[in-house]
Amino acid sequence: MLDVQNTSQPVVTRRADYTAPAWLVPEIALDFDLDPRRTRVRARLNVARNGAHDAPLRLDGDGLAPLAVRVDGVDADWRMDGATLEIALSGDAHEVETEVEIAPERNTQLMGLYASGGNLCTQCEAEGFRRITFFPDRPDVLTRYQVKLTAEKARYPVLLANGDPVASGDLDDGRHWAEWHDPFPKPCYLFALIAGDLAANRDTFTTRSGRDVEVAIWVRERDLAKTDHALHALKTAMAWDERVYGREYDLDVFNIVAVDDFNFGAMENKGLNIFNSRYILADPDTATDHDYDAIAAVVAHEYFHNWSGNRITCRDWFQLSLKEGFTVYRDQKFSADQGSAAVKRIEDVRTLRAAQFPEDAGPLAHPVRPDSYIEISNFYTATIYNKGAELIGMMATILGAEKFRRATDLYFDRFDGTAATCEDFVSCMEEAGEVDLTRFRRWYSQAGTPRVTARLVHEAGSGRAMLTLRQTMAPTPGQPVKEPMVVPLTVKLFGADSGREVAPEQLVLLSEPESEIAFESVGERPILSINRGFSAPVVVETDRSAADLGFLSGHDDDPFARYEAMQQLMLDTLVSSVQRGRGDHAPVIDAVRQTLLDGDLDSAFIAEAVLLPSDSFIGDQMAVVDPDAIFRAREALRRDLGRELEGEWREAYEAALANRFEYSPAAKGARRLKNVALGYINASGAPDAASLAFVQFEQADNMTDRQGALATLASGTSDKRVAALDIFYNRYSDNALVLDKWFATQALSSRDDTAQAVEELSRHKDFTLANPNRARSLIGAFAMNQRAFHDAAGRGYRFVADQLIALDKLNPQTAAKLLPPLGRWRRFDKDRAALMRAELERIVATPGLSKDMFEQASKSLD
């Protein structure tokens, strides 16, 4: 770790140092006098000594000064130890009261109690509660909450908190109050309140045991019409969790509130989920199919947390994946059940490869159960969430569906009402699954993506085929030497001549550095299909020829394996183009044609299968990333695919043209393929391509088609480009979520002038760093645009660093989240690497830098 003058020595928290809390807080009564400028918070804690010790009570605070401290009703002695309030207590149980004042409208970090769009709301995970009141802010202190909210009635007619409403009333002075009671003990990170001028879309859900739950989605009045999709998703998720996991909802009300200023997607506060409005609001005119899908997934995710997260929470933040990995796994399966499971799997793997594999290969690599952190907010990562979900998926594969369900039942039953560990979860898998997961546990402790090489050798004479598997894993920061992992690989062999199965699918558990699997009576040359369904989150290297990959892409009976074979074929072609300046496009063109014309495939699958790997995924395959050469190679292949298959693309395009909007798997698939086809027609250079896109842009009855056309135009040079951007801006200038798309579309453009355009957009009157969605839509999207961001002169790096330094002063958490693309300097040539490092050094040297940014930037320099 770098030692810098201007940063006070960062405190490292280590998993090995865990000790049980010295004091428990079985009950709390909170009394809020709400006001944007000064909110008075009174807290009455019943505290209980935990075990025999004489340690004082220590209550976390962040930016708080006690106005009063009373113990058992009398003013008490206390002292501040940094931000922590310390009170010496003589007995084993006391009533401790504190009073503080906070200013929600000055809270730009959006952690704790803050103002958004005229409302007051909270975010407490991970350590925001200590910005509201003094409390042992750690997930293993479980407390029953009683909350009273008082606020001006005209301005804040709706007052919500966790649990069930118990009483409310009006005061003489224009203020009113409401009391909420949550019967389930919970950690303080699940605390929430809302005071606002909100309208509800209400419904009733009857649980399978016959309990009526009042569900409601709260938004601004004018957004009410955009909440039906989220409400429907919620009820579908509630029924799904009963059916698939036997989990019922447990309170009389379930409220969801949407706010515009939010640091991430949403938050599972008990009975009162708070959402980023982008994961609630949808109508055909303003939300894409992707938005609709994401809304359903996030609504389900937060709802599922009621069991995997709330009823059973985490002992400490190192166990974060206990709730996040498992809950992502649950929401992925939920989404798979709503439409095409194959397409959902493809999307999830694409996300993993785009976000998690690079993390595992870079300076911020960390295990699914990390060993240390400076700022826990930096660990809400693709590794904890998405790789964590893959770990659950691998255990489900190893156990089989029936035992997996038995194991989750055991887990929910045994650990209900407790703060548990990843180890607790795995031990339930082991016990109910009757398997030994000793070595499997390395997935929790070792960072990095395993690499498996597979070699298949066939002896025609004996009919014997030998599959040799070897695994390796590169060192990651702090872990120079890796132990072999347990890698569950589903494998199947097809005959090269007959095209038929010559060895049935089997699950191979590779647990040694090397292992051999023999197949008997294989009469013809076999073709290897491996890691079917993406059974393990690993990189598989094979020596399969273009012809064999082409065969699998057209004939494998596992849809994921078909997709994967096509991707591999495309990658091999692109990497060789980049390295040798020229690749043979014909096998890719043939395979894409075969997929496009396959009448048995649905449009959604075809659309995914024919898409080229992204610039950055191509870069991930190379020792040194050459952004310009990658861009050229990919564009050349796109152009040839466009030209050679122009007739097929036009047919696919026209077949989908007449559809009216409908949100169904078939209609979504048709739109997806239509927009992919539009992209290829455009890549072909056909003279009418821009007008085709412009007509689609103007006539679209939905945002998927409108934004799809806009994206195509925004990357081009036609005279329709500026017109479309202006029309889009004017049409949606009062809709923040759609304006985010307008910014992001331009930041993702493949035009040569994108870096300059993005700099100009950062001075646009609608651009602000204060809103995380807006910041991400420009800065975050731009940093994903490999060629534009990695401009050889360093213009992109400088711009992003400038923006992050500015953002850090407002909102360190959101700033730090956007830093990782700058940290990948090791993957680039030495000139780019030097420019990137210089920006990281400038960031680390910034006076007053947050610990969030310090951790990300200094680790990236190491």
Contacting positions for ligand ARG (CB under 6 A): 125-126, 264-265, 267-268, 301-302, 305, 377, 380
Closest by CA to 578, choosing from 614, 625, 540, 642, is 625
Residue of minimal Cβ distance to ligand ARG:
380
CB of 377 to ligand ARG, least distance (A): 4
**Whole-angstrom distance, CA of residue 5 vs CA of residue 765:** 37
Lookup: tokens for 778: 């420009």
CB of 428 to ligand ARG, least distance (A): 22
The residue (of 305 and 790) whose beta carbon lies closer to ligand ARG is 305
Radius of gyration of the chain (CA): 28
Please choose which of Zn ion, ligand ARG, none residue 548 contacts, taking the beta carbon within 5 to 8 angstroms, the exact cut-off set by kind: none
Element (H, E) at 39: strand 39-49
CB-CB contact of 312 with 185 (8 Å): no
Please choose which of Zn ion, ligand ARG, none residue 379 contacts, taking the beta carbon within 5 to 8 angstroms, the exact cut-off set by kind: none
Site string for Zn ion, 54-73 (x = CB under 5 A): --------------------
CB of 103 to ligand ARG, least distance (A): 21
Closest by CA to 853, choosing from 159, 262, 10, is 10
For 163, phi and psi rounded to 5 degrees?
85, -145
The residue (of 179 and 324) whose beta carbon lies closer to Zn ion is 324
The residue (of 368 and 703) whose beta carbon lies closer to ligand ARG is 368
Lookup: tokens for 612: 């080229």
Residues 6 or more apart in contact with residue 637 via CB below 8 angstroms: 570, 573, 574, 577, 583, 585, 588, 612
For 535, phi and psi rounded to 5 degrees?
-70, -20
CB-CB contact of 278 with 223 (8 Å): no
Cis peptide bond prior to 126, omega within 30° of 0: yes
Please choose which of Zn ion, ligand ARG, none residue 264 contacts, taking the beta carbon within 5 to 8 angstroms, the exact cut-off set by kind: ligand ARG
Closest by CA to 771, choosing from 116, 143, 154, is 116
CB of 132 to ligand ARG, least distance (A): 15
Instruction: Burial-class residue 564 by CB neighbours within 10 Å (0-12, 13-18, 19+).
Output: buried
358-389 core/surface letters (b: 16 or more CB in 10 A; e: else): bbbbbbbbbbbbbbebbbbbbbbbbbbbbbbb
**Whole-angstrom distance, CA of residue 446 vs CA of residue 481:** 10
The residue (of 189 and 560) whose beta carbon lies closer to Zn ion is 189
Beta bridge partners of 178: 149, 168
CB-CB contact of 63 with 93 (8 Å): no
Please choose which of ligand ARG, Zn ion, none residue 125 contacts, taking the beta carbon within 5 to 8 angstroms, the exact cut-off set by kind: ligand ARG
Considering only residues 316 to 345 of the shown chain, the ones binding Zn ion according to CB under 5 A are 324, 327
CB of 295 to Zn ion, least distance (A): 15
DSSP states of 331-383 as a string? HHHHHHHHS-HHHHHHHHHHHIIIIIHHHHTSTT---SS-SEES-GGGG-SHI
Please choose which of ligand ARG, Zn ion, none residue 267 contacts, taking the beta carbon within 5 to 8 angstroms, the exact cut-off set by kind: ligand ARG
Please choose which of Zn ion, ligand ARG, none residue 398 contacts, taking the beta carbon within 5 to 8 angstroms, the exact cut-off set by kind: none
CB of 266 to ligand ARG, least distance (A): 6
> Strands, DSSP E only, in 125-233?
143-152, 158-161, 164-170, 175-186, 193-196, 199-206, 212-219
Please choose which of ligand ARG, Zn ion, none residue 265 contacts, taking the beta carbon within 5 to 8 angstroms, the exact cut-off set by kind: ligand ARG
The residue (of 839 and 855) whose beta carbon lies closer to ligand ARG is 855
Considering only residues 709 to 748 of the shown chain, the ones binding Zn ion according to CB under 5 A are none
Element (H, E) at 740: helix 736-747
Provide the CA 331 distance to its chain's centre, in angstroms.
11
**Whole-angstrom distance, CA of residue 533 vs CA of residue 505:** 11
CB of 240 to Zn ion, least distance (A): 16
The residue (of 380 and 728) whose beta carbon lies closer to Zn ion is 380
Beta strand pairing status for 23-33 and 143-152? parallel
CB-CB contact of 90 with 120 (8 Å): no
The residue (of 126 and 346) whose beta carbon lies closer to ligand ARG is 126
Tell me the residue length of the chain. 862
The residue (of 679 and 812) whose beta carbon lies closer to ligand ARG is 812
CB-CB contact of 682 with 749 (8 Å): no
CB of 389 to Zn ion, least distance (A): 10
Instruction: Burial-class residue 561 by CB neighbours within 10 Å (0-12, 13-18, 19+).
Output: buried
The residue (of 266 and 365) whose beta carbon lies closer to ligand ARG is 266
CB of 321 to Zn ion, least distance (A): 10
Closest by CA to 564, choosing from 589, 582, 586, 540, is 540
CB of 257 to Zn ion, least distance (A): 17
Amino acid present at 256: I
The residue (of 317 and 494) whose beta carbon lies closer to ligand ARG is 317
**Whole-angstrom distance, CA of residue 856 vs CA of residue 862:** 10
Residues 6 or more apart in contact with residue 671 via CB below 8 angstroms: 289, 656, 659, 702, 704, 705, 708
Three-class SS of residue 724?
helix
Beta bridge partners of 23: 49
CB of 324 to Zn ion, least distance (A): 5
Lookup: tokens for 79: 């002292």
The residue (of 657 and 770) whose beta carbon lies closer to ligand ARG is 770
Active-site residue set: 302
CB of 265 to ligand ARG, least distance (A): 6
CB of 327 to ligand ARG, least distance (A): 7
The residue (of 298 and 681) whose beta carbon lies closer to ligand ARG is 298
Please choose which of ligand ARG, Zn ion, none residue 808 contacts, taking the beta carbon within 5 to 8 angstroms, the exact cut-off set by kind: none
Please choose which of Zn ion, ligand ARG, none residue 380 contacts, taking the beta carbon within 5 to 8 angstroms, the exact cut-off set by kind: ligand ARG
The residue (of 326 and 411) whose beta carbon lies closer to ligand ARG is 326
CA dist 112 → 115, 260, 343, 463, 768 (Å): 10, 16, 38, 67, 21
Give residues in contact with Zn ion (CB under 5 A).
Answer: 324, 327
